[in-house]
Every structure is written in C-alpha cells, then in structure tokens.
Amino acid sequence: MGQSRTLHSIGSVERDTGIGRDTLRVWERRYGFPVPKRNDKGERLYSDEQLRHLQRIRRLMDFGLRPGRLLKLDAVGLDALEAEILSARPAIGEENIRHVLEVVRAHDSVGLEQLLDESYRSQGMEDFILKTVAPLLHAVGEAWAAGEIAVYEEHYLSQQLIHFLHTRLNRQPRPTGSPRILLATLPGELHTLGLLMTLTVLRARGVHAINLGGEVPMDQVKEAARRFQVEAVGLTFSSAYPHHSIRGDIEELRARLPAETQIWVGGEGVWRLRKLPEGVFKFQSLEKLPI
Amino acid sequence: MGQSRTLHSIGSVERDTGIGRDTLRVWERRYGFPVPKRNDKGERLYSDEQLRHLQRIRRLMDFGLRPGRLLKLDAVGLDALEAEILSARPAIGEENIRHVLEVVRAHDSVGLEQLLDESYRSQGMEDFILKTVAPLLHAVGEAWAAGEIAVYEEHYLSQQLIHFLHTRLNRQPRPTGSPRILLATLPGELHTLGLLMTLTVLRARGVHAINLGGEVPMDQVKEAARRFQVEAVGLTFSSAYPHHSIRGDIEELRARLPAETQIWVGGEGVWRLRKLPEGVFKFQSLEKLPI
DNA sequence: TAGCACATTTTGTCCTAGACAAAACAAATT
DNA sequence: AATTTGTTTTGTCTAGGACAAAATGTGCTA
C-alpha cells in the first residue's frame, strides 16, 4: 500500500520540483533528507512520497520559510506548518472567489467563463484583474496547500484565465503612442499569466505595451528594448523563480540596458526584495504600477 | 572590439542554451570546446561569442546533427552548415509567408494582425493553421538560422499568434460531447503554441478538447485524464525538448495511464521517433490527427 | 524605537574525473 | 527492404569539498 509505484531519478525530481540537482544532493548530506533508494548503478531513486514531500517543501519556501527548518519536518510537521500559514493569512473570503473555486473543482468550463464574465462586466477590466483575478490566484495557492485543489486544476484554471484575458483584451482599443512598455520574463520563469494581467491593466490605462511572453534571454530583452524604443521594461518573477538569482538577474539586466530605460519588476518573487539597483522599480501589486 | 562585455556562468549558459551543465563540462573534456575563462574561484566564465556559438549548435542539433560533428566547427564552419541545411530544405516560398515575415521584421502589430486575419478569412480555421501558421513557424526557424530574424522577434510573433488564436477560437462553437481530448506538455517543454494550434484544429472539427497548457507533471496528466474522462491525451514536444528523454517520458506516461486511454504525440521533437509503445500514436503534422 | 554597522550562520552553486547505459549509427545477414 | 548484430557516440549521474552571497542575529547609536 505505502509502497511506491514509480521511482524518480534526480533529474526528474529537479524538473518536477524546481530544486536543483546539486541542492538535492547537498540537502541529503546536510540534513539527512531526502535519502532516496539507489539502483545497481548507484544512482538515486526517489519515491513518490519523497517527491510529494519535496514539492510541499518547495511550496512552503515560497512563503519565505528556509530549508534548514523545513527539512527537519516529516509529513505531519508540514501539515502543521501549512495550517499555521493558512491561519496567519487572510482567509479566502470573498463570496465571489469561493464560487469560482467551486466551479473549477467541478471542471465546468462554461460555468467558469460565465462567472468570470459577470465579474468582468460589473467591475470593468482593471478592477476585474486587481480585485478578482489576483486574489483568485492567491486563493488557489492556499487551496492547494490545504489539499483542496489539485495541481492540474490550477493549470486548468490558468489556461481558462489566459483564454479569457486574450479575448477581452481584444475588445479594448489598442493604444499606439508613448510611453511604450516591453513585457517579458527571463529564462527559467514560465509563469506568463502575470505578464498577461499586466498587459491588460496597462492597456486599460491606455498604455502601449508589447508582450514578448516567457523565457526571453537577457540579450534579447535588451535588443528588443532598443528596437521597440520602449521607455521601460517590465519583468515578472513568480514565487517559483529561484530566490537566489532574482537580484543578480535584475542587476545584470540593469547593467545591460541604457540608463534612460526604466526597469519594472513585479510578481510574488520580488515581494521580499529590499534594495534595488538605481532605475529599478518594484510594483508589489498591479495597482501600484509606476504609471 | 572583439572583446566581450559580459561573462556568463555555467548556470546561465545552461538556461540560455538549454544544454545541461554536465553536458557543457563533458563537451569541454571531449571535444575541447567550449573552453571558457575562469574566475579566481576557478569557475567557468563563458564569453558572449561562446554563448552565441552554443546557441547555434543547439539549433543545428534540432535538425538532427550531432555534437561530435558540430563541435569541431568554428563560426565559419557553422555558417557553411547552416547554408547547406537551408538549401536542402524547401525554400521559404509562399508569397503569403514572406509577407508575414516582413511585417514581423518591421514590428508592425497592426499590419501583422491584418495579414493573419486575411489568411484566416480566406482559408478558414483549419487550413489557416495547417497552411499558414505551421509553415510560418518553420520559415521563422529558417530565417533565424540565416540570421534574418532575431530571437526576440520570434517571441514577438509567437505572442501575436497566441493572441490571435485565442480570439478566433472564441468565435467557434464550443463542442461539449465526446470524444474528449486532453492537451498538455510535460515539464521541461514550454512551447505551448503547438498545443493551442492543436486545440484550434480539434475544435474546428467539433472535438471537445481541454488544454492544460505547459509543464504539467506526469502524475497530474494522469489525474486529469481520469477526472475529465478523456479518451486520449495529446502531448507536443518541440525540437527544443531533450531528444534523449522523449521516448522514455512517453513510455512512462503510457505505463501510468489506463490502456484504454490513447496517447497522441506531436511536434517537431517526435519527428524522428521510430517505434512507439502500444497505444501511442504520432501525428507528424496536424493534418494527420487520428480523428 | 528605529536605523545602522558588523559578525555569524545558512544556503546554493560550482568544482574534478570517472563510470555506465541508452540511443544512434554502420555493417552484415535474412 | 527489413531485421539483427556490433561499435561509437552521447548525456546523465556519482563523490565530497569549497566558497561567496544572502539571511539572520547582535550590539551600538541617534
């Protein structure tokens, strides 16, 4: 029963958790977890349970918790910690958002689209993004931590939102003038929904934004900024983006772009960033876009 | 002049080329390339030129060329090889597609949308995808190899296409019945445009398809297939997906899904795959979707 | 109480050189 | 032309150590 069906190589675990190979090995050395089985070649084979445990740890790290503490805990300990975090955060609340979550759990595409559309119509584009979509995404994260929603359901919702935003985006007039903003994420960051939300808010405010989507190499961001003659480059970092690299990456881009080009950074990943290089601005929530 | 501005750690090179750390080190040992500088800590520092060279090699590998051959070549050698490949492949041709490329190079969003819309109206959804979008993406790859188009321009086009498809998708009736198809890509594969194209073709044929988007862990694909009660799971693999893992990944998924659930695989990555496990079907081009 | 400078701990990434199996290729056979 | 066999190529994984950047803790001052 407790026996696992499939075993995972260190490479698959890296992919499925976002935790680097080297990190996994050094954790094993330092904290004594996870200690996987080995095949006859001596290679690590992680069980389903270990994979799941690592995914939970990863998720908790996104809340600012550090490995040294988390890796001491067993499954029960993680349960407790998750419960604690949930109680510390504002409850899901918002009748509206609870409804959406229920519809997602019911896998009802049509109902979902209707619900979104209602909110959109009553709130208008900008408030819809700020007061419905953004809190919804938070709520989904919490629901996952509470075991109420599956990862694939998050993907499902995400796709539905992407589709919804694209279609409504088209109904807004396309701004043509200045200022121009370039939106992208760096390689390693694949969460592009944030970009789309930003694009939508900007367009609702009549700002001309160009979205390059995810995983754009730095030199290409620079080149695009030059050729599109933008005044600012907007990057988003999800909580999944490796904490360590964020500041360095931003500084590197800052060094490459001309000083008159501003850099805006947003997303959950930059939440806890303190000091930023000159000419870099942070927007914690979309409301505070520096425009 | 020839001096490089910025130096790249092995980690950044991995991210920007998709070539693994270990692979980079083993290439250096075996083929004597690339040999980066070192910092005082002894860590590798790759130059811009080396990075660019590796990106070109990576791209050529997508055409089926192997490292042993490619790593002997200098920049001039790569030039020759790229030229050879271009001449071997059908020329870009198609007045239509040349036009689109020009508009992309001019960064003209409005013109691009108009062009796409013209094709879409005259060809209908399915032919638009098969005879315009698919060849266009091929042509872009070639134009990149010929140095005629920048990577960021590919991203730009990609985003425009995604936006276009989402908006037109909405004009089609949403099929509700059977058969149901689940679409996704596995972790490591972020090229989701193929999924969207597949979704669009399927919907044009009245098939009910559910798109989970990119980077869905295998167990979640399985879970979603069960809960959505789909008859088939469709995966796409771009040429950027590590060749080595494709067969293994497909087999692993095959082993996890119940036998009555079919698996369809598509995309450039599966082009050269010969034998497939029982119950796995390949669609080389979208025209041959097994439905 | 808040801000700042400094010391300590934690943490992720990178190093070397060797090993091995799976995939790709080439050659020979049915 | 398709299948079997042998050979070469190739990517991924191993170990234990090292180091700097980030995060945290402590003491001092305004």
CATH number for the domain spanning B136: value is 1.10.1240.10
Q: Which amino acid is at B246?
A: I
User: Are residues A146 and A118 part of one domain?
Assistant: yes
> Which residues of chain A between 126 and 165 are close to nucleic strand C, CB under 7 A?
none
Q: Determine which helix (DSSP H) or strand (DSSP E) holds A96, and give its type and residue range.
A: helix A95-105
Residue A221 forms part of a structural domain:
yes
Q: Which of A110, A184, A188 sits opposite B15 (nearest CB)?
A: A188
Q: How far apart are CA B50 and CA B72, in angstroms?
A: 14
User: Are residues B33 and B75 part of one domain?
Assistant: yes
User: Are residues A243 and A223 part of one domain?
Assistant: yes
| Residue B267, Ramachandran bin (φ over 0: left; ψ between -120 and 50: alpha; else beta) | left
CATH number for the domain spanning A279: value is 3.40.50.280
Q: How far apart are CA A261 and CA A258, in angstroms?
A: 6
User: Are residues A198 and A155 part of one domain?
Assistant: no
pLDDT at A247: 79
Q: How far apart are CA A57 and CA B182, in angstroms?
A: 29
Among residues A169, A194, A222, which one ends one of the domains? Answer: A169
CATH number for the domain spanning A55: value is 1.10.1660.10
User: Are residues B100 and B84 part of one domain?
Assistant: no
Query: pLDDT, tens digit, for every residue of A19-65?
Result: 999 999 999 999 999 999 999 899 999 998 999 999 899 888 877 88
Per-residue CA distances from B82 to B51, B92, B239 (Å):
17, 15, 17
Among residues B88, B116, B149, which one ends one of the domains? Answer: B88
Residue A2 forms part of a structural domain:
no
A66: domain range? Answer: 10-74
Statement: the CB of B243 is under 7 Å from strand C = yes
Residue A104 forms part of a structural domain:
yes
Q: How far apart are CA B103 and CA B83, in angstroms?
A: 24
A113-122, A132-141, B184-193, B278-287: the lowest-pLDDT one: B278-287
User: Are residues B192 and B140 part of one domain?
Assistant: no
Residue A1 forms part of a structural domain:
no
Contacting B with CB below 8 Å, chain A residues are 6, 15-16, 48, 107, 109-110, 150-152, 155-156, 158-159, 162-163, 166-167, 169-170, 174, 184, 187-188, 190, 210-221, 223-224, 227-228, 252, 255-256
Beta-strand runs (E) in chain A: 37-38, 44-45, 180-184, 208-211, 232-236, 262-266, 280-283
- A213 or B238: which leads in pLDDT: A213
Q: How is B59-92 classified by DSSP, letter by letter? A: HHHTTT--HHHHTT--HHHHHHHHHHHHHHSPP-
Q: How many domains does chain A have?
A: 3
Which chain C nucleotides are covered by protein, judged by CB under 7 A? Answer: 10-25
Assigned token pair, B190: 């972020």
Among residues B134, B169, B204, which one ends one of the domains? Answer: B169
Residue B197 forms part of a structural domain:
yes
HEC readout, A6-61? CCECHHHHHHHHCCCHHHHHHHHHHHCCCCCEECCCCCEEECHHHHHHHHHHHHHH
Contact residues, chain A, for B159 at CB < 8 Å: 211-213
User: Are residues A275 and A248 part of one domain?
Assistant: yes
Please state the length of chain A: 291
Q: Which class for A225: exposed (0-12), middle (13-18), buried (19 or more C-beta within 10 A)?
A: buried
Are B34 and B53 within 8 A, CB to CB? yes
Q: Kindly give the confidence (pLDDT) of every residue in chain B, 291 residues in length, as a single tens digit, with 9 standing for 90 and above.
A: 333 467 899 998 998 888 999 999 999 999 999 999 999 999 999 998 999 999 899 888 878 889 999 999 999 999 898 888 777 665 555 778 889 999 999 999 999 999 999 999 989 998 899 889 988 988 888 888 778 899 899 999 999 999 999 999 988 888 877 778 999 988 767 788 999 999 999 888 888 999 999 888 888 899 999 999 999 999 988 877 777 777 778 888 888 889 889 888 888 777 666 666 667 777 755 555 555
Q: What is the DSSP letter of B217?
A: -
Q: How far is the CA of A66 from the C1' of C3 (A)?
A: 26
Q: How far is A152 from chain B (nearest CA, A)?
A: 5
User: Are residues B127 and B218 part of one domain?
Assistant: no
Q: How far is the CA of B150 from the C1' of C15 (A)?
A: 35
Residue A243 forms part of a structural domain:
yes
User: Are residues B56 and B129 part of one domain?
Assistant: no
Phi, psi of A117, rounded to the nearest 5 degrees: -65, -40
User: Are residues B230 and B139 part of one domain?
Assistant: no
User: Are residues B256 and B227 part of one domain?
Assistant: yes
Q: Which three-class secondary structure state does DSSP give residue B27?
A: helix
Per-residue CA distances from B124 to B114, B131, B267, B268 (Å):
15, 10, 22, 24
Are B46 and B30 within 8 A, CB to CB? no
Task: Verify whether the Cβ–Cβ distance A152 to B213 is below 8 Å.
Answer: no
Are A48 and A23 within 8 A, CB to CB? no
Contact residues, chain A, for B156 at CB < 8 Å: 210, 212, 224
- Which residue's CA lies closest to nucleotide C11 at its C1' atom? A67
User: Are residues B99 and B161 part of one domain?
Assistant: yes
- Nearest of A291, A236, A242 to residue A267 by alpha carbon: A236
Contact residues, chain A, for B171 at CB < 8 Å: none
Q: How far is the CA of A10 from the C1' of D1 (A)?
A: 42
